[in-house]
C-alpha cells in the first residue's frame, strides 16, 4: 500500500486570502479508499464562494471538487476499480443504501454530506496535513486542486479509458449539473405539458453550467433556447452550442427581452447565477404554468423576493435542482458516451487552461472574463 507522500496543492487558509501553493502531506488510502493522480480540475464558481467567505468550510482546506484522474493505488476492501482506471470525482459521495441513493438521487444522501460537514472523507477524518504537521481538510471529500487525492471509493465514478481528462473533469460538476437539470427536471420524455420538443427555455448565466443547460436543451429539441449573460463573448459560445437567441443582460429588462422573443414567456427558466435579481427576472419571464429552476449556488442565507400574486395567478413553480437532480453513477458515463457518439459535443465547454501554479489568476478571471469552463491542468498523461 502507498505510504504518505508530499505533494503540491492549493490551500485556502482564510477567506479573502489568495490560495497558497504549498507542499502538503497526503496519507495513503485507507480501507475503501483510492489514491488518484489528478489530471485536470475545473475552475468552478463554488470554490470561489469558499475563497470569498460566501460559503464556509473547515480551514485550512485544499480546494477543488470538479476533476478527473487516474487511480494510482487502492486501499483494502476496494472492489470494482483498480490502478490505471480513469475516474471522475463526484462532490457528493453516496452510501448506495439509503432512500435517496436507492431512488437514484445520490446527491441527497445523508452519509454523503459527512465530508462537507467535517472536512474529512466519508468517515469524517482527513488524510491531509500541512508541511508543519497541522491538519488540513478536504473540500467535499475531493480536494483536487492538488497533484494527488485520496478519496472514498464512493466519491468517484469510473469512466472509459482514453476519455479526455479535460472533458471528463467537467462532467463531474458543470456538465452533469446543467445537462442533468434538463434531462432529469425538465424531462426528455416528450410527454406532458411543457416537456416536449418546441418547449421554450431561458438560461440565465452562460458559464460552464449555463452552457451545459443550453446543450441539454438543444439535445431534447427545446425552442426557443434563450441564453442571457453579461458577456457577449460567452453568448457567442452559447449560440454555437444551440442557443437560438441571446440577450446581453444588464443592458435590457431581461423579462421584457424574453417576451419580445417568445411573447407569452418561456415554459422553463434555468438560473445558473445564484442572484436574487436574476431569479426574479427568471420568474417574470415565465408563461403561465412555467417553472423556474434554481441551479446556481449563492452565499449562505441569501433569499429571493418573489411576487406572490404572480406565482398564484399565473400558476408558476419555483424549484431547486442539486447536481442536476442526477444519478451521477449512471449518468456521468452516459454523458461521456453521448459525447463519444457525437450526440453531445462537450468539447466546446472547456475554456482557458492554467497550470496549478496559476490558480489564483484563473479565479481572478472567473467572474467576468473567462469564456467556457476554466481548467487547471495538473498531471496530464
Q: Which of 51, 101, 159, 293 binds Zn ion (CB under 5 A)?
A: 101
**From the CB of 14, what's the least distance to Zn ion, in Å?**
21
Restricted to residues 12-71, the positions that interact with Zn ion (CB under 5 A) are 44, 46, 66
**From the CB of 298, what's the least distance to Zn ion, in Å?**
14
* 320 preceded by a cis bond (ω within 30 of 0): no
- Of the listed pieces 100-108, 118-126, 214-222, 228-236, which binds Zn ion according to CB under 5 A? 100-108
Q: How many CB atoms lie within 10 A of CB 99?
A: 10
Does 109 interact with Zn ion (rule: CB under 5 A)?
yes
Closer of 21 and 95 to Zn ion (Cβ): 95
Closer of 140 and 255 to Zn ion (Cβ): 140
Q: Are 296 and 323 in contact (CB under 8 A)?
A: no
Closer of 33 and 72 to Zn ion (Cβ): 33
* 3-state secondary structure labels for all residues of 351-370: EEEEEHHHHHHHHHHCCCCC
Q: How would DSSP label each residue in 118-148?
A: HSS-TTS---EEETTS-EEEESTTT--SBSE
DSSP state of 277: H
- Of the listed pieces 30-38, 91-99, 186-194, 276-284, which binds Zn ion according to CB under 5 A? 91-99
The number of CA neighbours under 13 Å toward the Cβ of 123 is 12
Closer of 65 and 245 to Zn ion (Cβ): 65
Restricted to residues 163-202, the positions that interact with Zn ion (CB under 5 A) are 173
Q: How many CB atoms lie within 10 A of CB 122?
A: 21
- Of the listed pieces 93-101, 248-256, 310-318, 333-341, which binds Zn ion according to CB under 5 A? 93-101
**From the CB of 1, what's the least distance to Zn ion, in Å?**
27
DSSP 3-state of 197: coil
Q: Which of 21, 27, 98, 188 binds Zn ion (CB under 5 A)?
A: 98
**From the CB of 108, what's the least distance to Zn ion, in Å?**
8
Closer of 43 and 281 to Zn ion (Cβ): 43
**From the CB of 322, what's the least distance to Zn ion, in Å?**
11
Closer of 87 and 130 to Zn ion (Cβ): 87
Closer of 112 and 194 to Zn ion (Cβ): 112
Closer of 177 and 278 to Zn ion (Cβ): 177
Q: Are 201 and 222 in contact (CB under 8 A)?
A: yes
**From the CB of 138, what's the least distance to Zn ion, in Å?**
15
CA 285 to centroid of chain Cα atoms: 25
Q: How would DSSP label each residue in 66-106?
A: SEEEEEEEE-TT--S--TT-EEEE-SS---SSSHHHHTT-G
> Crossing angle for the helix pair 276-284 and 254-261, nearest 10 degrees?
30
Q: Which of 59, 95, 188, 304 binds Zn ion (CB under 5 A)?
A: 95
Strand residue runs (E) in the chain:
5-12, 20-26, 33-42, 61-62, 67-74, 86-89, 128-130, 135-138, 148-152, 156-159, 201-204, 225-229, 245-248, 266-271, 286-294, 317-320, 350-355, 373-377
**From the CB of 102, what's the least distance to Zn ion, in Å?**
8
- Interface residues with Zn ion (CB under 5 A) are 44, 46, 66, 94-95, 98, 101, 109, 173
Amino acid at each position: 500500500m502507498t505510504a504518505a507522500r508530499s505533494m503540491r496543492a492549493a490551500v485556502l487558509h482564510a477567506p479573502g486570502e489568495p490560495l497558497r501553493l504549498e507542499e502538503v502531506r497526503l496519507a495513503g488510502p485507507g480501507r475503501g479508499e483510492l489514491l488518484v493522480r489528478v489530471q485536470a480540475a475545473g475552475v468552478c464558481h463554488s470554490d470561489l464562494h469558499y475563497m470569498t467567505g460566501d460559503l464556509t468550510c473547515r480551514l485550512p482546506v485544499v480546494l477543488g471538487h470538479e476533476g478527473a484522474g487516474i487511480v494510482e493505488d487502492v486501499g483494502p476492501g476496494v472492489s470494482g476499480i483498480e490502478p490505471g482506471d480513469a475516474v471522475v470525482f463526484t462532490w457528493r459521495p453516496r452510501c448506495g443504501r439509503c432512500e435517496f441513493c436507492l431512488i437514484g438521487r445520490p446527491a441527497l444522501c445523508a452519509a454523503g454530506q459527512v465530508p462537507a460537514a467535517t472536512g474529512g472523507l466519508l468517515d469524517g477524518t482527513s488524510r491531509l496535513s500541512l508541511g508543519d504537521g497541522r491538519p488540513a481538510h478536504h473540500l467535499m471529500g475531493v480536494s483536487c486542486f492538488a497533484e494527488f487525492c485520496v478519496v472514498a471509493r464512493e466519491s468517484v465514478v469510473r469512466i472509459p479509458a482514453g476519455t479526455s481528462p479535460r472533458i471528463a473533469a467537467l462532467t463531474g460538476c458543470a456538465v452533469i449539473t446543467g445537462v442533468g437539470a434538463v434531462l432529469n427536471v425538465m424531462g426528455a420524455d416528450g410527454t406532458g405539458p411543457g416537456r416536449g420538443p418546441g418547449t421554450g427555455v431561458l438560461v440565465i448565466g452562460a458559464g460552464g453550467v449555463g452552457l451545459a443547460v443550453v446543450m441539454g436543451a438543444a439535445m431534447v429539441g427545446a425552442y426557443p433556447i434563450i441564453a442571457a449573460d453579461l458577456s457577449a463573448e460567452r453568448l457567442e459560445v452559447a449560440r454555437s452550442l444551440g442557443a437560438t437567441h441571446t440577450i446581453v443582460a444588464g443592458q435590457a429588462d431581461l423579462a421584457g427581452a424574453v417576451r419580445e422573443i417568445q411573447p407569452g414567456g418561456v415554459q422553463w427558466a434555468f438560473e445558473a447565477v445564484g442572484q436574487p435579481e436574476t431569479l426574479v427576472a427568471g420568474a417574470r419571464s415565465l408563461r403561465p404554468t412555467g417553472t423556474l429552476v434554481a441551479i446556481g449556488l449563492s452565499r449562505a442565507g441569501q433569499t429571493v423576493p418573489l411576487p406572490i400574486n404572480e406565482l398564484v395567478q399565473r400558476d408558476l413553480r419555483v424549484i431547486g435542482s442539486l447536481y442536476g437532480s442526477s444519478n451521477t453513477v449512471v449518468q456521468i458515463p452516459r454523458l461521456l458516451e453521448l459525447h463519444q457518439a457525437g450526440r453531445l459535443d462537450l468539447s466546446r465547454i472547456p475554456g482557458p487552461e492554467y497550470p496549478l501554479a496559476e490558480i489564483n489568476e484563473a479565479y481572478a478571471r472567473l467572474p467576468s472574463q473567462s469564456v467556457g469552463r476554466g481548467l487547471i491542468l495538473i498531471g496530464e498523461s
